Structure formats: C-alpha cells, structure tokens
C-alpha cells in the first residue's frame, strides 16, 4: 500500500513539475521583457514674437562727434535779412580766432541750414582792424545814412566782449569802416553758401557744378570773396574729382592758377 502511494505521488509530481516550470519560465520572460520605448514627441514650433524689435536710428560710432573737439565762444555776430533773396536770412557768429558757425535760410526751404566756419587769418585781420578803427564797443555813432536802402537788405552787427555788448543796425553807411564791415561779412557769406552749394552738387547733382564754378569766378572778379586763397585747397580737389564734368574740373584748375598768380 505504501509502495503504491509512493508510485502515485511520484506520478503526480512528474505531471505537475513541467507545468510549474513552464509557468515560472513564462513569468521570468514577462519580468525580463524590455518595456517599449515611448516615441519621441516633436516639440511645437515656437510662435514668432508678437513685438517687432525697435530699430534705433543711431549714428554710426565713427560719425559721432569726437570728444575733446574745441568749442568756440562767439564774440562777433552778423545778421543779414532780406526776404525774397536766394538767401533771405544769414547769421554768422565766430570767436577771435575765426572759428564759428554760419546759418542761412535758402529760398524755398522751411528751416535754417548750419555749417561750421573757419575764417582765414587774412579775413580775421581785416575784421579786427576795422572794429578797432571804429572803436566799435565804445562808439555810439549811428552808421545808417539818411536814405534808406532796405531793399538791399538790413544788417545787424554785434560785438560781445569783456562783459559789454553793442549792436549796430544799418543797411547803408557813409562811414567807410562801417560799410567795409557789412561788405566783408557779405563776402564771408558768399564763400560759405557757395561751399555749401558745391558740396551738395558734388554728391547729388554734378551737372550743376559748371554753373557754380562760373558763379565763383564772378565773385572773385567782382571782389565778392573775402580771401580767395582760402579756396585753393578745395579748388585743387575739385579739379581732380572725376565725378564732375570735365568743364567744371578745368575751370577749377584755371581758378587755382589765377588765384596763385594774384598772390605773387
């Protein structure tokens, strides 16, 4: 009986053992089976910024005013007014070394145009000698003639020096020194308004330069330029500027020779 039970028990183990091993194997396989890797989800494309970057309208670093540039303290002031002229208003201010600024209102423009100026030593000597001859700051003389010539424009000349100031207004004078002052400042205005015109023409309208050369030639012949040798550097430059018509370059070269000849 005992032997029969032993045989029966062995038979049952023989049957159940493969089943258990199979279940264990399946369980092990399930435990070791790698987990599926999650697919990478593409990131959404970022939306463009709603604000447009502000473009700063700044001057390039090379064009910014250089520090340490000497300033000027104006002592002499000139103003010319005559509406209807090509330059209906002209303001000139400068120090005793000739450094200063010119501002002018050109016909057809709404705003004044300003440019720096540097008067030549010859021009400055003419001015300072004349102011000294008039004893301008101390004098109370009225330079205006009895006859009015405002149709040619009105002039105001001011000197501010040593804490004092004097303003003289007239449009014509029989005082030769006072007349020289108004004429000399007109000649200075001719120089710098012409330089403004030629500068614009060189860059934008080269075909206008022959007429401008004719105008300068006329100014020099009529003694309407304070110090013609002050133009030599610019005229030499213009004579080789290939942007200009040949007729303008040749005229500039002729003026250089004329001015140099007159200096001797």
Higher pLDDT: 236 or 6? It is 236
Strand order across the 76-81 sheet:
113-118, 99-106, 87-94, 76-81, 154-161, 164-170
Determine contact, residues 141/157, Cβ cutoff 8 Å. no
Given this model, what pLDDT does residue 57 score? Answer: 33
Domain ranges of the chain: 70-185, 205-264
Q: Which residues of 147-166 are buried (b: 16+ CB within 10 A; e: fewer)?
A: eeeeeebbbebbbbeeeeee
- Cβ atoms of 148 and 173 within 8 Å: the answer is no
Confidence of residue 205 (pLDDT cuts 50, 70, 90): very high
Each residue of 73-97: pLDDT tens digit?
Answer: 999 999 999 999 999 999 999 999 9
Of 119, 117, 91, give the one whose Cα is nearest residue 105.
Answer: 91
Q: What pLDDT, in 10s, does the model give residues 117-136?
A: 999 999 999 999 999 999 99
Q: Kindly report, residue by residue over 15-51, the tens digit of the pLDDT.
A: 444 444 444 444 444 444 445 444 444 445 444 444 4
Domain 70-185 CATH superfamily: Mago nashi (3.30.1560.10)
pLDDT in tens, 216-242: 999 999 999 999 999 999 999 999 999
What b-and-e string marks burial along 19-51, b requiring 16 or more CB atoms within 10 Å of the CB?
A: eeeeeeeeeeeeeeeeeeeeeeeeeeeeeeeee
Q: Which strand (E) or helix (H) includes residue 99?
A: strand 99-106
Mean predicted confidence (pLDDT) in 92-104: 97
Q: Alpha-carbon distance 156 to 170, whole Å?
A: 7
Which residue would you say has higher pLDDT here, 43 or 211? 211
Q: Are 144 and 169 spatial neighbours (Cβ–Cβ below 8 Å)?
A: yes
Please give the Cα distance from 14 to 22 (Å, whole number): 13
Largest CA-CA distance found in the chain, in angstroms, rounded:
166
Kindly list the distances between the CA atom of residue 19 and the CA atoms of 13, 60, 79, 80, 105, in Å, as whole numbers in the listed order.
10, 88, 120, 121, 112
pTM of the predicted structure, to 2 decimals: 0.74
Q: Residue 184: pLDDT above 90?
A: yes
Average pLDDT over residues 197-204: 96
Determine the Cα–Cα distance for residues 188 and 219; give it in Å rounded to an integer.
11
Residue 70's pLDDT is 57
């Amino acid at each position: 009986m005992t032997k029969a039970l032993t045989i029966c028990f062995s038979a049952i183990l023989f049957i159940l053992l493969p089943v258990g091993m199979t279940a264990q194997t399946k369980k092990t396989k399930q435990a070791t089976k790698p987990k599926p890797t999650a697919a990478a989800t593409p990131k959404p494309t970022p939306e463009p910024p709603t604000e447009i970057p502000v473009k700063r309208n700044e001057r390039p670093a090379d064009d910014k005013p250089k520090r340490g540039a000497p300033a000027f303290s104006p002592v002499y002031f000139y103003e010319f007014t005559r509406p209807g002229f090509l330059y209906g208003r002209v303001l000139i201010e400068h120090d005793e070394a000739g450094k200063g600024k010119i501002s002018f209102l050109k016909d057809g423009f709404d705003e004044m145009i300003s440019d720096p100026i540097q008067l030549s030593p010859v021009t400055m000597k003419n001015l300072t000698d004349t102011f000294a001859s008039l004893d301008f700051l101390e004098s109370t003389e009225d330079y205006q003639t009895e006859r009015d010539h405002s149709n040619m424009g009105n002039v105001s000349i001011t000197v501010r020096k040593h804490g004092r100031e004097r303003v003289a207004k007239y449009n014509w004078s029989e005082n030769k020194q006072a007349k020289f002052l108004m004429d000399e400042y007109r000649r200075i205005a001719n120089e710098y308004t012409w330089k403004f015109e030629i500068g614009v023409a060189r860059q934008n309208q080269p075909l206008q330069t022959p007429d401008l050369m004719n105008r300068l030639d006329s100014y020099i012949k009529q003694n309407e330029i304070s110090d013609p040798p002050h133009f030599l550097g610019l005229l030499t430059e213009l004579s080789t500027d290939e942007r200009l018509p040949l007729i303008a370059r040749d005229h500039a070269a002729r003026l250089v020779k004329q001015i140099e000849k007159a200096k001797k």
